[in-house]
Chain A
Amino acid sequence: MPVVNEHSERMRKFKNKGKDVAALRRQRAEVNVELRKARKDEQILKRRSISFSLMDESLSLGEEKRNEIVQLSLEEIVEAVNGSNTELQLQATQATRRMLSRQKDPPINQIIELGIIPRLVEFLTHADNAPLQFEAAWALTNIASGTSDHTKAVVEGGAIPAFISLLSSRHMYISEQSVWALGNIAGDGPLYRDALINGNVIPPLLALVSPVTPVGFLRNITWTLSNLCRNKNPYPPLDAVKKMLPVLICLMEHEDKDIISDSCWAVSYLTDGSNDRIQIVVDTGILPRLVELMASPELIVMTPALRAIGNVVTGTDEQTQAAIDAGVLAVLPCLLQHAKPTIQKEAAWTLSNIAAGPCQQIQQLITCGLLPPLVELLDKGDFKAQKEAVWAVANFTTGGTVEQVVELVQSGVLKPLLNLLLAKDSKTILVILDTISNLFLAAEKLGETERLCLLVEELDGLEKIEALQTHDNNMVYRAALSIIEKYFSGEENPDLQPGTGQDGLYDFSVEKQDFNF
């Protein structure tokens, strides 16, 4: 049965044979790329179309190839490294580097135990043997990429000054490798970070940044800089920060996503501290750029930008205002509804901090339309984000004017807020009860207490609050009790009919009506 004919026979049966196949394409469901685990191992051995022996051959071939170069045993490596034959030194160092850079399970501990680290560090100084410097640098980079103990071994071998020196190497591939190594050392923690800074790493590092620096190199530099800004207890020294910031600002304007991302992370670390640290960042005028990046569709860019801005608004009212002036309120609504729960949460947290500000800033929240997405988040968001949203509402009611509180209620926040009284988290419940108290305080000022009571009742809020009187948590129970006693223990006023929409009783329109709920 000839195959070709069969196929064309079959094709003849189909109407669309003449049409462009592409025109007929539509999305197809993906077939699992991976076979189910149970059969996977067998697959590798027993596939129908490939004979096992063939595969075996190619595997052993690769291994051999590698073995050709890494013929040296560990003893041989030690001997060569400690000897004076430069050729052997290079071979041994390269062999070490290869072992340390394979995909799985690099034998870092074994290499450390050989005791050759000091010697490798010494190789870094062999300016006449660039390949040796490079291989040593790479090997040490990889050792330092491990645990804290691994990094410690490298540092105690004297690597820090050696690498800082190499930043000025005339070979770019060597200075780049040094940047990487120093990044690993800095990333270990504040101790080594500051050791680097005190070793004067910053000037030569910054000097490497130029318009002609290749992108890959710039990525490494940015990442290392971010590690120099990273970690608290203690924070990086202020003067170091001041030196790094201008370059970071520059890098944030680059077009490469990874560079932008890492510089944003660096700035986010720098804003994660006391207000004076925040001020240093704000003073650079970088906020508009950060807000712009917050709106990026790229998650790796948007996430640190949001974090940085979020940090900024934990600061003073003026610093928060700077963020508002930079346009953060226009970007926030989208992020409140982001698909990723962590983004929702961070956005809500940011919002809650802005809502903790003076009533002028709260007014800006209202004007820029932050209430509807806030309500939506409160209603349907991820729970962690909802918790932050609850704080936002609470802060709103604490710092807002009576009119602003009215607007808040009119935006429909009460329903989802009351629903959250069913949450398991006591802290959240307390904040909500607190908020409700605030709402009643505002209502009292307007003489609208009964209306608010009815509203709460209508929204099934009363039964939830009543239920909380038997809550495990003492404070919750007392807060609930207090509200009930203060506002819900009077007789029903027979004059008040549950309205059918009059006076905006159940009306959640955003239009301002004269102080009606």
Chain B
Amino acid sequence: LLFLQRVLLLVASDVDALCACKILQALFQCDHVQYTLVPVSGWQELETAFLEHKDQFKYFVLINCGANVDLLEILQPEEDTFFFVCDSHRPINVVNVYSDTQIKLLVKQDDDLDVPAYDDIFRDEEDEEEDSENESDGSEPSEKRRRFEEDVIERTMKRRQRREWEARRREILFDYEQYEYHGTSSAMVMFDLAWIMSKDLNDMLWWAIVGLTDQWVQDKITQMKYVTDIGILQRHVSRHNHRNEDEENSLSIDCMRIAFEYDLRLALYQHWSLYESLCNTSYTSASLKLWSVQGQKRLQEFLADMGLPLKQVKQKFNSMDVSLKENLREMIEESANKFGMKDLRVQTFSIHFGFKNKFSASDIVYATASLMENIEKEGPETTNFIKALDSLSRGNLDKLHQGLDLAKKQLRAIQQTVASCICTNLVISQGPFLYCSLMEGTPDVKLFSKPVSLCLLSKYLLKSFVCSVSKSK
């Protein structure tokens, strides 16, 4: 049926969503499904987009949006409108779960949703009988009354039971909804779909990896989930990339190879200098407390411990002495352990294609996010979104490089802002939460006007703040 209908794709503004979108677009292309893509970055835009298109479309695909609200209530669609929701937001709204016709959720089988049982939260209104006439309003008593099957006592029991059921329901829903979190990356779900359809390609796999990595960068999933999902992707990577490629693929521009890496979690380090990366990665910056004088000293000690001359470290990474780059990861890991950084390495993947093109998954995440949230607009609203989307395709290296540059700017801006806030004690404790106010006129404050950047800033600030007040070292 889908072949004859057009589909409206509503895609949220995060990298995981973009990756999922790419995969889906590829699948659509395969099956010649016609679609229109509309980026949305918030509820308002989602609603507006729906209203604008509801007369022309019957099928909507929502990526990374819509799962955690009562879609039917909010959008009030016609009965013949269908929604396919692939959204990592949790918890999924119970109405979406139990709606069997209009809402279709794309969820991985083992993603435990913990949804409350149907009978615990829904009740057929017809179950309720008409209780005594004067129940709650002041209407006149009936002129005649029929005596029902049950006793008054039974009826009172029923009423009491109903109240108990309702109280329990409130508790159940409260527990279900009180914490927000994320499930499996939508890109991974889409890849799974492609795999089930036997249409999965290496490119799609890469996007799935980037989607997962985005979740990790943005701290949306637990370490354990991340590692587990890496394992899942690892199997696919092996399957797709097991050929002995040194001869065949490395020379061909069109071919790409994904490799598993136990890499340093230093942001963009291969496209930067090691020094810059150490300074602008929140993990190292926070652990070493680089906003302080002692922190800078510690950094020097750290580098010295590794036997890395400052001059080398400040050079572009690719220009570093090859001898120093050998065993770099193991070296850094060993030294890092001494300095309280036990998790400096992380399981991830990298991609190789063409000549000299090597990127780590996190590189792509940062680059794409920066492109997407570029405050400089070069055209209509959606240009940046489209550009970011395009940069995920291997053929658009120029966009990718632009993204990397923007990402570096952004990471620097984040670290500077964080340092400034910590040093000037701008982080204030306010009961159950901490808050920090950035005044107009703070340098780079415009960069943080978008959700992902703002989120990154907040998380890095938080981590740094915690380190700054902790007594260790």
Residue of B at shortest CB range from A50?
Answer: B118
Which chain A positions have C-beta within 8 A of B152?
Answer: 216
B432 near A16 (CB under 8 angstroms)? yes
B467 an interface residue at 8 Å Cβ cutoff? Answer: no
B428 an interface residue at 8 Å Cβ cutoff? Answer: no
A-facing mask of B63-86, CB < 8 A → 1, else 0?
Answer: 000000010110000010000000
Spot the interface stretch: A41-49, A122-130, A464-472, A499-507: A41-49
CB < 8 Å: which of A14, A28, A141, A258 contacts B173? Answer: A28
Chain A contact patch, size range: 35 or more
A227 an interface residue at 8 Å Cβ cutoff? Answer: yes
Which chain B positions have C-beta within 8 A of A226?
Answer: 141
Contact A223/B148 with A35-B98, A43-B100, A43-B122 known, Cβ cut-off 8 Å? no
B125 an interface residue at 8 Å Cβ cutoff? Answer: yes
A98 near B149 (CB under 8 angstroms)? yes
B177 near A299 (CB under 8 angstroms)? no
B144 an interface residue at 8 Å Cβ cutoff? Answer: yes
B147 near A142 (CB under 8 angstroms)? yes
Spot the interface stretch: A57-65, A143-151, A242-250: A143-151
Chain B contact patch, size range: 35 or more
A46 near B100 (CB under 8 angstroms)? yes
Residue of A at shortest CB range from B90?
Answer: A10
Tell me how far the C-beta of B43 lies from the nearest C-beta in chain A, rounded to whole angstroms.
15
A25 an interface residue at 8 Å Cβ cutoff? Answer: yes
Q: Which of A384-411 contact B (CB under 8 A)?
A: none
A258 near B72 (CB under 8 angstroms)? no
CB < 8 Å: which of B79, B136, B222 contacts A299? Answer: B136
The prevalent SS among residues of A at the interface is helix
Which chain A positions have C-beta within 8 A of B338?
Answer: none
Tell me how far the C-beta of B242 lies from the nearest C-beta in chain A, rounded to whole angstroms.
26
Contact A31/B70 with A46-B100, A187-B143, A299-B137 known, Cβ cut-off 8 Å? yes
A15 near B179 (CB under 8 angstroms)? no
Tell me how far the C-beta of B368 lies from the nearest C-beta in chain A, rounded to whole angstroms.
25
Contact A10/B181 with A35-B95, A103-B129, A300-B138 known, Cβ cut-off 8 Å? yes
A486 an interface residue at 8 Å Cβ cutoff? Answer: no
B248 an interface residue at 8 Å Cβ cutoff? Answer: no
A241 an interface residue at 8 Å Cβ cutoff? Answer: no
Spot the interface stretch: A1-9, A113-121, A355-363: A1-9
B99 an interface residue at 8 Å Cβ cutoff? Answer: yes
A146 near B138 (CB under 8 angstroms)? no
Residue of B at shortest CB range from A301?
Answer: B138
Bound complex: CA of A261 vs CA of B136, how far in Å?
12
Contact A102/B95 with A10-B179, A223-B141, A304-B138 known, Cβ cut-off 8 Å? no
B98 near A43 (CB under 8 angstroms)? yes
A138 near B147 (CB under 8 angstroms)? yes
Contact A44/B124 with A35-B98, A101-B147, A187-B143 known, Cβ cut-off 8 Å? yes
Q: Which of B110-127 contact A (CB under 8 A)?
A: 110, 112, 114, 117-119, 121-125
Bound complex: CA of A263 vs CA of B177, how far in Å?
47
B147 near A265 (CB under 8 angstroms)? no
A78 an interface residue at 8 Å Cβ cutoff? Answer: no
CB < 8 Å: which of B99, B138, B145 contacts A145? Answer: B145
B145 near A5 (CB under 8 angstroms)? no
B461 an interface residue at 8 Å Cβ cutoff? Answer: no
B101 near A42 (CB under 8 angstroms)? yes
Contact A102/B149 with A46-B100, A304-B138 known, Cβ cut-off 8 Å? yes
CB < 8 Å: which of A6, A28, A48, A343 contacts B138? Answer: A343
B145 near A31 (CB under 8 angstroms)? no
B144 near A188 (CB under 8 angstroms)? yes
Bound complex: CA of A100 vs CA of B148, how far in Å?
8
B143 near A230 (CB under 8 angstroms)? yes
Tell me how far the C-beta of B157 lies from the nearest C-beta in chain A, rounded to whole angstroms.
14
Which chain A positions have C-beta within 8 A of B224?
Answer: 1, 5-6, 9
CB < 8 Å: which of A5, A43, A230, A300 contacts B134? Answer: A300
A255 an interface residue at 8 Å Cβ cutoff? Answer: no
A302 near B177 (CB under 8 angstroms)? no
Which chain B positions have C-beta within 8 A of A25?
Answer: 174
A445 an interface residue at 8 Å Cβ cutoff? Answer: no
Residue of B at shortest CB range from A28?
Answer: B174
CB < 8 Å: which of B117, B122, B132, B170 contacts A258? Answer: B132
Q: Which of B126-176 contact A (CB under 8 A)?
A: 129, 132, 134-149, 152, 170, 173-174
Bound complex: CA of A258 vs CA of B222, how far in Å?
57
A303 an interface residue at 8 Å Cβ cutoff? Answer: yes
Contact A299/B144 with A1-B225, A28-B174 known, Cβ cut-off 8 Å? no
CB < 8 Å: which of A16, A101, A230 contacts B148? Answer: A101
**Which residue of B94, B145, B224, B228 has the most chain A CB atoms within 10 A of its CB atom?**
B145
A145 near B122 (CB under 8 angstroms)? no
Contact A49/B73 with A35-B99, A35-B122, A261-B134 known, Cβ cut-off 8 Å? no
**Which residue of B141, B152, B225 has the most chain A CB atoms within 10 A of its CB atom?**
B141
Q: Which of B353-386 contact A (CB under 8 A)?
A: none
Tell me how far the C-beta of A217 lies from the nearest C-beta in chain B, rounded to whole angstroms.
10
Tell me how far the C-beta of B114 lies from the nearest C-beta in chain A, rounded to whole angstroms.
8
Q: Which of A281-314 contact B (CB under 8 A)?
A: 299-300, 302-304
Which chain B positions have C-beta within 8 A of A223?
Answer: 141, 145
B202 an interface residue at 8 Å Cβ cutoff? Answer: no
B144 near A36 (CB under 8 angstroms)? no
Contact A36/B72 with A188-B144, A265-B140, A299-B136 known, Cβ cut-off 8 Å? yes
B-facing mask of A303-346, CB < 8 A → 1, else 0?
Answer: 11000000000000000000000000000000000001011000
A373 an interface residue at 8 Å Cβ cutoff? Answer: no
Bound complex: CA of A378 vs CA of B449, how far in Å?
50
CB < 8 Å: which of B123, B136, B179, B222 contacts A33? Answer: B123
B146 near A47 (CB under 8 angstroms)? no
A187 near B144 (CB under 8 angstroms)? yes
Bound complex: CA of A270 vs CA of B372, how far in Å?
77
CB < 8 Å: which of A3, A42, A216 contacts B112? Answer: A3
Which chain A positions have C-beta within 8 A of B138?
Answer: 299-300, 302-304, 340, 342-343
Tell me how far the C-beta of B153 lies from the nearest C-beta in chain A, rounded to whole angstroms.
8
A145 near B141 (CB under 8 angstroms)? no
B102 an interface residue at 8 Å Cβ cutoff? Answer: yes
Bound complex: CA of A302 vs CA of B143, how far in Å?
20
Beyond A38-B101, A42-B100, 12 additional pairs, beta carbon < 8 A: A6-B222, A10-B179, A10-B181, A25-B174, A31-B93, A32-B70, A39-B99, A42-B101, A43-B122, A50-B118, A103-B149, A227-B143
CB-defined A-B contacts under 8 Å, sample of 12: A9-B224, A9-B225, A28-B170, A33-B121, A35-B95, A39-B99, A39-B100, A49-B118, A98-B149, A102-B149, A103-B149, A230-B143
By a beta-carbon cutoff of 8 Å, the part of chain B in contact with chain A is: 70, 72-73, 79, 93-95, 97-102, 110, 112, 114, 117-119, 121-125, 129, 132, 134-149, 152, 170, 173-174, 177-179, 181, 222-225, 228, 432
Which 10 A-B pairs rank lowest in CB-CB distance, beginning with the nearest? A303-B138, A187-B143, A145-B146, A299-B138, A300-B134, A145-B144, A184-B144, A9-B222, A101-B149, A187-B144
